[in-house]
Amino acid sequence: MTDNGEQTAYTEGPKAPAGGDRETLLEITGLSKSFGTVHANRDISLRVDRGEIVALLGENGAGKSTLVKQIFGLITPDAGTISIKGDATKIKDPKDAIRRGIGMVHQHFQLVPVMTVAENMMLGHETVKGGVLDLDGARQMVRELSTKHKLSVDPDAEIEDLPVGTQQRVEILKALSRKVDLLILDEPTAVLTPQETDELLGVMKELAAGGTSIVFITHKLREVLAAADRCYVLRQGQVVGGVDDLTSTTTSDLASMMVGRDVVLRVDKAEATPGDTVLSIKGLQVRDDRGLPAVDGFDLDVRAGEIVGLAGVEGNGQRELVESIAGMRPSIGGTVSLAGEDITRSNARDTNNAGVGHVPEDREKHGIVGGYSIADNLVLNRYDEEPFAHGFRRDFGAVREHAVELREEFDIRSPDVEAPAGSLSGGNKQKVVVAREMSAKPQLLMAAQPTRGVDVGSIEFIHRRIVEARDAGAAVLLVSAELDEILSLSDRIAVIHGGKVVAEVAGKDADRTEIGRLMAGDSDHH
Amino acid sequence: MPDMEWLSRNKIWVGTAALVLIGAYAFYAVNSNIAVSMFSYAWFLAVPLVLGAMVGVIGERSGVVNIGIEGQMLVGAFAGFFAAAATQSIVVGVIVGALSGIAMGAFLAFSTVVGQLDQIIAGVVINIVATGITSFYFESGKTIPRGLPNFDVPLLSKIPLIGPVFFSDGPIALFALIIVFVLHFLLFKTRWGLRTRAVGEYPSAADTAGINVIALRLFNVTAAGILAGLAGTYLSMEATSTFERGMSSGRGFLALAILIFGAWRPMRALAAALFFGFMQSLASQLQASDVVNIPQQFINLLPYVLTLVVLAAAAGRVRAPGAVGQPFVKGD
């Protein structure tokens, strides 16, 4: 085992052959579900046989979670049928789903933190002896189950004292104690360390060998190849592909299916005329929320007047990288400099004042203050500077005037700049953020997922603005999980994998398949 | 049964309890009359606090903050007393007092759990309404036949010190003592308790396990009102035989402090209430015996200051149920 589990393949010998004559456990036909005008699932059909592991692969927002929530009875489908062991009766609620042999391990564990493993296991279907909870029985049940499935847990341990991987084991045991035929795992590896991930994949195989079918959601390609018998690829709410024989599939095949071959959104832009280096990152190391290395020796230069697109499968350190440059997350090694000035240890405020504009990935949390007016949101980075303040006194007239100007310029659709920013639609919120960051004329514009959850019209507008910022001489670092966005905007593309740049290519020479392959971490051969 | 494992886990508590017991009996050996009267007075003062704290335990363990205990008590005292005065029946008075507590509990439960009203605001409403109603409808000069009588529990009342202190009181005081142990058992040993704690700590886990979070919270908060109502009737019909405006005089809020000091556990809350009662009893003893020459006001301050100190010390170490104060919305 190397220190980085993502790099080493999980492949452990040949997989079980895909089922041909096995019992069909779950069959979904024509399933559709909309939320408002958003089609979360469109005409989805799939099948799961007994004892097989099926992966649902797709980017964030592809509709995977919506799909499994319908199987577990948490959401009611608009159309289509879900048939379990040939019974297509509507699944009323989770209780009904459990009764029919479906178990689900949620992404956020449904365990009471201050209770013991045994107490959590019995919760909801307690056995009582003479009015008193039969805790001994519950402990015994935990021990039996954990021996049977080779998942060791201490029945008397309190949940909050257990590592995440063990908590997940408890969740799986909890589902198994309800005698499941089909176990659904919603992004089970998202919270796990590489080592815990390996263990989990092993457990899944054991369970499948014992006759339990497993459906698991992921956007990590290697996990699919390492554990699944078959896989369905979801994109924009639809099944865009199914792979029945994963033994002859590579991660790059899957990657290109996942990002799709849709029409590239065209952006008209002139040839870049790069100037001096503005952003220079050398050997940067940043830890993620769990304290594990996320950015691991990252090097990149971005020059004035060019857009550098950072392509990569989500979870390869992009978020931590951006947060670290923006001064929102400390780095543990390496340097970041802006036009020769060291900003490695600058906080968010100083970084901003040094000339870094940041369009954050999570705009609700880091981009706007929902309760503040649009006008105030537009000066969040400069409210205490002239002309918006004189000394300690704010100039509301100037703030308002500024807001009215930007509203015109950035096409923010709101009749009143004093309205709370939280009342705007997603696309208009994003325009507020983009307007604020660009109007400060930054030397470096850093845009993370700038068009996520934004309507098509706004996407085009934001793209055009990014190009204009470049033409005005800003260095632009674009981070996006949308390969199309990267391809259509970037003058240069850097591919990030495992927290470091694995390749750099010129934007006009970029080949989608090649980049997909690199994103999957497949850079050692060919 | 207190097996070895239980002892080692709770050695601080067992040790403290043993020390307190030894100290109390040493005191008893030195001067039995003063010891019995001081401890009796302590328990006399602690009874409404214990009942109030139990209301808090049930509510907060289910995830609902109840700062309306004060108001519930006041209405219980009022309704109980005037029902007893009107019917000239103490039994009717106690029943009406308990029912009025339930009614107030039901208001809190439905407005916060179903109506999703902020729990603090709902509690404040209860307190304001209680003060208003009990002042507006107050009639002076009403009397009840006589207060609830004290009686001796056979055998138990013969135990030196403990007997006269705990087992020679009125029925509500005895009930308060019993309910602490009953509630401890219910909370930690039964299905209801496991579910209640799950609902107060992590309701979505309870929900996915098929437990009806809303129904359980409604039931618990409403039912806990009985105890608040009884605390009120204790004030107007057992401790005294009269009703005065605002006679709960902050005991409901003190009960909340005791709830925290007691770490949301019935038995520890009992200990905390006794501690507070004893401090107050000590204050009046010092005052009466003239042993120290300090202005009376300072002595009266003593129990409150000590409570504040103890609370501040305990605050960092205890933890409230995880979902306290948060309304539960399914599928959130």
What residues does A500 pair with on adjacent strands? A497
Span B33-60, average pLDDT: 94
A335 membership: H or E segment, kind and range: strand A331-338
Residue A79 and residue A186 share a domain: yes
Residue B240 has pLDDT above 70, yes or no: yes
CATH number at residue A346: 3.40.50.300
Measured between beta carbons, the chain A residues lying within 8 angstroms of B331 are: 74
Residue A171 and residue A297 share a domain: no
Residue A138 has pLDDT above 60, yes or no: yes
Mean pLDDT of chain B: 89
Residue A187 and residue A152 share a domain: no
The answer to the question of residue A466 being in a domain is yes
Which residue in B189, B208, B213, B324 has the most chain A C-beta atoms within 10 A of its own C-beta, making it the best mutation to test that interface? B208
Q: Which of B143-157, B166-180, B293-307 has the lowest mean pLDDT?
A: B293-307
Residue B268 forms contact with A (CB below 8 Å): no
Which residue in A74, A95, A109, A112 has the most chain B C-beta atoms within 10 A of its own C-beta, making it the best mutation to test that interface? A112
Q: Could you report the per-residue pLDDT of A23-75, keeping only the tens digit for each?
A: 889 999 999 998 776 788 999 999 999 999 999 987 766 788 889 999 998 88
- Say which of B198, B319, B331 has its CB closest to residue A123: B198
Q: Could you report the per-residue pLDDT of A366-423, keeping only the tens digit for each?
A: 999 989 999 999 999 999 888 899 988 999 999 999 999 999 998 888 888 999 998 8
Q: Could you report the per-residue pLDDT of A321-342, keeping only the tens digit for each?
A: 999 999 999 999 999 999 999 9
pLDDT tier at A443, thresholds 50, 70, 90:
very high
Residue spans of the domains in chain B: they are: 38-315
Residue A94 and residue A31 share a domain: yes
Q: Which of A5-19, A386-400, A418-432, B274-288 has the lowest mean pLDDT?
A: A5-19
The answer to the question of residue A401 being in a domain is no
Q: Residue A240's pLDDT is what? A: 83
- Say which of A74, A98, A120 has its CB closest to residue B331: A74
Span B57-73, average pLDDT: 95
Q: Tokens for A50?
A: 């007994």
Q: Residue A17's pLDDT is what? A: 44
CB pairs under 8 A between A and B: 61
Ordered strands of the A307-311 beta sheet: A356-359, A444-448, A475-480, A307-311, A492-497, A500-506
Residue B307 has pLDDT above 80, yes or no: no
- Provide the domain count of chain A: 3
> Is B211 close to A122, i.e. CB distance below 8 A?
no
pLDDT tier at A15, thresholds 50, 70, 90:
very low
Residue A512 has pLDDT above 90, yes or no: no
> Is A94 close to B210, i.e. CB distance below 8 A?
yes
Measured between beta carbons, the chain B residues lying within 8 angstroms of A124 are: 195, 206, 209-211
> Is A110 close to B209, i.e. CB distance below 8 A?
yes
Residue A192 and residue A92 share a domain: yes
Mean pLDDT of chain A: 85
Q: Residue B328's pLDDT is what? A: 85
Which CATH number, 2.60.40, 1.10.3470, 1.10.20, 1.10.287, labels domain B38-315? 1.10.3470
- Say which of B193, B208, B322 has its CB closest to residue A110: B208
The ipTM, to two decimals, is 0.85
- Identify the closest residue of chain B to A111 by CA–CA distance: B205
> Would you say A80 and A28 are in contact if contact means Cβ atoms under 8 Å apart?
yes
Span B104-109, average pLDDT: 96
The answer to the question of residue A389 being in a domain is no
Residue A43 and residue A154 share a domain: no
Residue A3 has pLDDT above 50, yes or no: no
Domain coverage including residue A481: 277-355+442-519
Measured between beta carbons, the chain A residues lying within 8 angstroms of B206 are: 112, 123-124
| Pairing status of strand A492-497 against strand A500-506 | antiparallel
Q: Residue A296's pLDDT is what? A: 92
Q: Residue A236's pLDDT is what? A: 79
pLDDT tier at A176, thresholds 50, 70, 90:
confident
Q: Residue B95's pLDDT is what? A: 96
Residue A211 and residue A161 share a domain: no
- Say which of A111, A122, A131 has its CB closest to residue B205: A111
Alpha-carbon dihedral B179, B185, B190, B195, rounded to 10 degrees: 70
Residue A165 and residue A78 share a domain: no
Interface of A with B (CB under 8 A): 74, 94-95, 98, 106, 109-115, 119-120, 122-126, 128, 131-133
Which residue in A123, A159, A160, A184 has the most chain B C-beta atoms within 10 A of its own C-beta, making it the best mutation to test that interface? A123
Residue B198 forms contact with A (CB below 8 Å): yes
Measured between beta carbons, the chain A residues lying within 8 angstroms of B190 are: 128, 131-133
Measured between beta carbons, the chain B residues lying within 8 angstroms of A123 are: 194-195, 198, 205-206, 209, 211
Residue A209 and residue A76 share a domain: yes
Span A163-183, average pLDDT: 88
Distance from CA of B172 to the nearest CA of A (A): 26
The answer to the question of residue A209 being in a domain is yes
Q: Residue A455's pLDDT is what? A: 67
Residue A78 and residue A90 share a domain: yes
- Say which of A95, A115, A126 has its CB closest to residue B191: A126
Residue A9 has pLDDT above 50, yes or no: no
pLDDT tier at A263, thresholds 50, 70, 90:
very low
pLDDT tier at B5, thresholds 50, 70, 90:
confident
pLDDT tier at A5, thresholds 50, 70, 90:
very low
Residue A337 and residue A458 share a domain: yes
pLDDT tier at B286, thresholds 50, 70, 90:
confident
- Say which of B189, B208, B319 has its CB closest to residue A94: B208
Residue B210 forms contact with A (CB below 8 Å): yes
Q: Residue B118's pLDDT is what? A: 93
Residue A269 has pLDDT above 60, yes or no: yes
Q: Residue B103's pLDDT is what? A: 96
Span A137-146, average pLDDT: 91
Residue B141 forms contact with A (CB below 8 Å): no
Span B299-303, average pLDDT: 78
Span B245-264, average pLDDT: 90
pLDDT tier at A456, thresholds 50, 70, 90:
low
What residues does A29 pair with on adjacent strands? A81
Chain-centroid distance of CA B114 in Å reads 26
Query: Bigger pLDDT: A113 or B10?
Result: A113
Q: Residue B191's pLDDT is what? A: 94
- Say which of B190, B197, B198 has its CB closest to residue A131: B190
- Identify the closest residue of chain B to A114 by CA–CA distance: B201
Measured between beta carbons, the chain B residues lying within 8 angstroms of A119 are: 194
> Would you say A127 and A138 are in contact if contact means Cβ atoms under 8 Å apart?
yes
Residue B296 forms contact with A (CB below 8 Å): no
Span A298-306, average pLDDT: 94
Q: Is the pTM of this model over 0.80?
A: no
Distance from CA of B30 to the nearest CA of A (A): 44
Measured between beta carbons, the chain A residues lying within 8 angstroms of B322 are: 113-114
- Identify the closest residue of chain A to B209 by CA–CA distance: A124
